[in-house]
Structure 1
Amino acid sequence: MRKILRIGTRASMLAVTQSTWVKNQIEQQYPDTTVELVKILTKGDKILDVPLAKVGGKGLFVKEIEDALLDGRVDLAVHSMKDVPAEVPESLQVAIIPKREIPQDAFVSVNYKDVDALPQGAVIGTSSLRRKSQLACLRPDLEIRDLRGNLDTRLRKLDEGEYDAIILAGAGLNRLGMQKRITALFTSEQMLPAIGQGSLGIELRMADTELLDGLQFLHHRDTAVTVSAERAFLLRLEGGCQVPIGGFATIDNDTITLTGLIASLDGKTILREQLSGMASDAEKIGVTLAETLLDRGGKAILDEVYKNEIS
């Protein structure tokens, strides 16, 4: 292992916490190596007053970090997999996937125990189209308002009474040691997670084979297999990060089960299917499930969403 490694990371509290975990793991494994964090501001971090779907959904939180990898400013990057587009630059690879944290979305509220306890017309905050669509289906009476900003900002707005509840990724709260802020976790039946939610991805240059070998100790096979099925599903749908698409895979021995979802923006149409097969066919299962949903009407839904993004 090299004497000095530089990790490219977003500057948010959660991103730095995740990258610091990777840094600590590497330094523990290789005591003679010093790992430095290089904080990089991404387009998604700069634009806080516009819903992400309106700014373009692909690579909002990774492109600038990938640029730093490509020009050699950093040696590896740590991403939340739910932020990584289905396609990455051909000279890069997301090759190391550590063990997944909890994948579920978290219901966070000061006064209400879960989404069912919210009174009619309650205000709930999220900027995710995937969450909005499923919420609108689950509770069409709620007022869903956009919520952007870092985690502290979103929690402060909740605590100050701007929202009756907000939705956050449970994994992020866990990683930050803020488990007590999780009021309840949505089941996957209530709200299917985003592709890769709860998992991290370590991105490297394809040419860095020695570094890839040296980081294999961080790789978790079952997480990698399930995430590969989810990402194959997303790739076939040509979906970015900011579309009403959900996907979550589980693995039991060598059997993988993938559940996928495409939803209309108003939540009135929810297309959901499940497919199981051998773990060795993970990507094929993702593609097949995507084609099933497209044939069921998913293509028309996504065409409408992309038209709205452009307009």
Structure 2
Amino acid sequence: MAGGTVTIGTRGSQLALWQANWVKNAISGHHPEITVELAIIKTRGDKILDVPLAKVGGKGLFVKEIEEALLDGRIDLAVHSMKDMPADIPHGLCIGAIPEREEPRDVLITRSGRPLDQLKKGSRVGTSSLRRSAQLLHARPDLTIVPLRGNLDTRLKKLASESLDAIVLAAAGIRRLGLADRITQTLDESIMLPAVGQGALCIETREKDPRIASVVAALDDLPTRRVVMGERAFLNRLEGGCQVPIAGHGHIDEKGYTLTGLVCDVDGSHQIKQALTGPEAGSEKVGLELAEALLAEGAGEILERLNADAKQ
């Protein structure tokens, strides 16, 4: 491949820059003849830090401005956390590559060093994720959930500055930034099912850009792609965003592709959760079928109610 420059669009947080630099180094490793540059783009989600995401538009807040830069040619590709990607991708863009996934689960970080089941009644736990808060309340209805926004470093500082007893974060971000020693407990999926795509990176590209497609092709991990696209098919069918507590996590083993999905009331009182297994190559079909199964169990009524509440 001829040389030239490739510009990566990214948010400016410490974690986003780590992720973008990882992709930059991976591209340079496969294509040393290419110069790779980063372009930091501030998104609406980075500017609004005092309001829960569900109140200001959900997931698209972290990608819209970057996608606009990709569409108009200011950047050649974008690096996102897959869990920040809305179910629908703008016309003209596509998921060009999904590298091998990091640990997808959530972690609990407590000031006392106590795990979830040993936290005192009424303990203040920080999170602005409805998915996390609903599952926490399902497991421990006696906890007090405190809204917590900001980048990873900010949220870690708020553990002490806002008198919180614990916070819940994605394991992937903590591990990528070398902070695994801060983890009190990695939360089992039976307690906290991860967000769709959590722990995976999304390398977003223009659909009709063969040069960039060939640049990122070597970064795509097929098993991770199949797992994540099955999760995203599940999310897409449920039309889920940050306004509703939806979780989904798949894995591949000798039985094929198994996807576990969940829809939950905000207060954790009503939780619909199922798993479905199918062929590895048919992961998106499994995702659609699992969504239909949850809808048949009453997930549709929960989603309609929560979406109606979000619009008020």
TM-score range, shorter chain: over 0.9
Secondary structure of 1:307's aligned partner:
helix
1:175 aligns with 2:155: no
User: Are the counterparts in 1 of residues 257 and 280 from structure 2 also a CA contact under 8 Å?
Assistant: yes
Normalising by structure 1, report the TM-score. 0.98
Q: How many residues are aligned here?
A: 311
C-alpha deviation, 1:5, in angstroms: 0.6
**Residue matched to 1:196:** 197
1:42 aligns with 2:53: no
Secondary structure of 1:155's aligned partner:
helix
C-alpha deviation, 1:253, in angstroms: 4.5
User: Are the counterparts in 1 of residues 109 and 168 from structure 2 also a CA contact under 8 Å?
Assistant: yes
Distance in 1 between residues matched to 2:284 and 2:88, nearest whole Å: 14
User: Are the counterparts in 2 of residues 56 and 309 from structure 1 also a CA contact under 8 Å?
Assistant: no
Alpha-carbon displacement from aligned partner over 1:30-77 (angstroms, at most 9, x marks no partner): 222111110111111111111100011241110100000000000000
Secondary structure of 1:215's aligned partner:
helix
Secondary structure of 1:60's aligned partner:
helix
Distance in 2 between residues matched to 1:242 and 1:259, nearest whole Å: 20
**Residue matched to 2:149:** 148
**Residue matched to 2:258:** 257
Distance in 2 between residues matched to 1:299 and 1:289, nearest whole Å: 13
Distance in 1 between residues matched to 2:5 and 2:254, nearest whole Å: 38
Distance in 1 between residues matched to 2:76 and 2:200, nearest whole Å: 20
Alpha-carbon displacement from aligned partner over 1:149-178 (angstroms, at most 9, x marks no partner): 111211111133620000000000011111
Q: Is 26-35 or 257-266 further displaced after alignment? A: 26-35
1:1-311 correspondence runs (5 A): 1=1, 2-160=3-161, 162-253=163-254, 255-311=256-312
User: Are the counterparts in 2 of residues 104 and 169 from structure 1 also a CA contact under 8 Å?
Assistant: yes
Alpha-carbon displacement from aligned partner over 1:280-308 (angstroms, at most 9, x marks no partner): 21111101100111111101111111112
User: Are the counterparts in 2 of residues 128 and 242 from structure 1 also a CA contact under 8 Å?
Assistant: no
Whichever residue aligns with residue 210 of structure 1, its letter is R
Q: Is 236-245 or 11-20 further displaced after alignment? A: 236-245
C-alpha deviation, 1:199, in angstroms: 0.2
Distance in 2 between residues matched to 1:168 and 1:272, nearest whole Å: 22
Distance in 2 between residues matched to 1:192 and 1:125, nearest whole Å: 17
Whichever residue aligns with residue 286 of structure 2, its letter is I
Alpha-carbon displacement from aligned partner over 1:58-97 (angstroms, at most 9, x marks no partner): 4111010000000000000001000001110121001200
Alpha-carbon displacement from aligned partner over 1:85-118 (angstroms, at most 9, x marks no partner): 1110121001200000000001011213311110
The sequence identity of aligned pairs, in percent, is 52
User: Are the counterparts in 1 of residues 101 and 224 from structure 2 also a CA contact under 8 Å?
Assistant: yes
C-alpha deviation, 1:210, in angstroms: 2.6
Q: Structure 1 unaligned segments of length 5 or more: list them.
A: none
Whichever residue aligns with residue 5 of structure 2, its letter is I
Whichever residue aligns with residue 137 of structure 2, its letter is A
CA RMSD of aligned residues (A): 1.1
Distance in 2 between residues matched to 1:142 and 1:229, nearest whole Å: 33
Alpha-carbon displacement from aligned partner over 1:118-174 (angstroms, at most 9, x marks no partner): 001110000000001001110000001100111121111113362000000000001
Q: Is 246-255 or 256-265 further displaced after alignment? A: 246-255
User: Are the counterparts in 2 of residues 19 and 37 from structure 1 also a CA contact under 8 Å?
Assistant: yes
Distance in 2 between residues matched to 1:275 and 1:196, nearest whole Å: 17
Whichever residue aligns with residue 88 of structure 1, its letter is I
**CA 1:283–1:182 in structure 2 vs 1: closer, same or farther (change >3 Å)?**
same
Distance in 2 between residues matched to 1:55 and 1:214, nearest whole Å: 35
Distance in 2 between residues matched to 1:97 and 1:253, nearest whole Å: 22
Distance in 1 between residues matched to 2:138 and 2:71, nearest whole Å: 42
